[in-house]
Homo-oligomer: A and B are copies of this chain.
Amino acid sequence: MLFHVRMDVAIPHDLDPGRRAELIATEKARALELQRAGSWVHLWRVVGQYSNISVFDVDSADELHQILWSLPLFPFMTVTVTALTTHPSSLSEADG
């Protein structure tokens, strides 16, 4: 099941630099792990924004919530979730 997710990140400018660096590093490790596991299927940076647009392939909305809720940067993100379905004109099996 596919979900389109946009994440806009806003880390407070006065957060401890060590804490910030650690959050970003663990966020990256988690993103790589989820991509390797096949649930985070697309991940793009939005030009000129501290934001990404992603597509997740999960078994259920519950699984998606667990993934998003446990992201290290989740407390500093505005997350927008949009459920996707196969487009009748799509040729791609991966997008179905």
Q: Which residues of A are interface residues toward B (Cβ below 8 A)?
A: 1-5, 12-13, 15, 27-28, 31-32, 35-36, 41-49, 52-53, 55, 60-62, 64-65, 68-69, 75-76, 79-92, 95
Contacts and interface: CB of A to CB of B under 8 A. Distances in A.
A90 B48 contact: no
A83 B3 contact: yes
Contact of A48 (B1, B31, B76, B79): B79
B95 A43 contact: yes
A46 B90 contact: no
Interface-central residue, A49, A52, A80, by most chain B CB under 10 Å: A49
B35 A61 contact: no
B35 A90 contact: yes
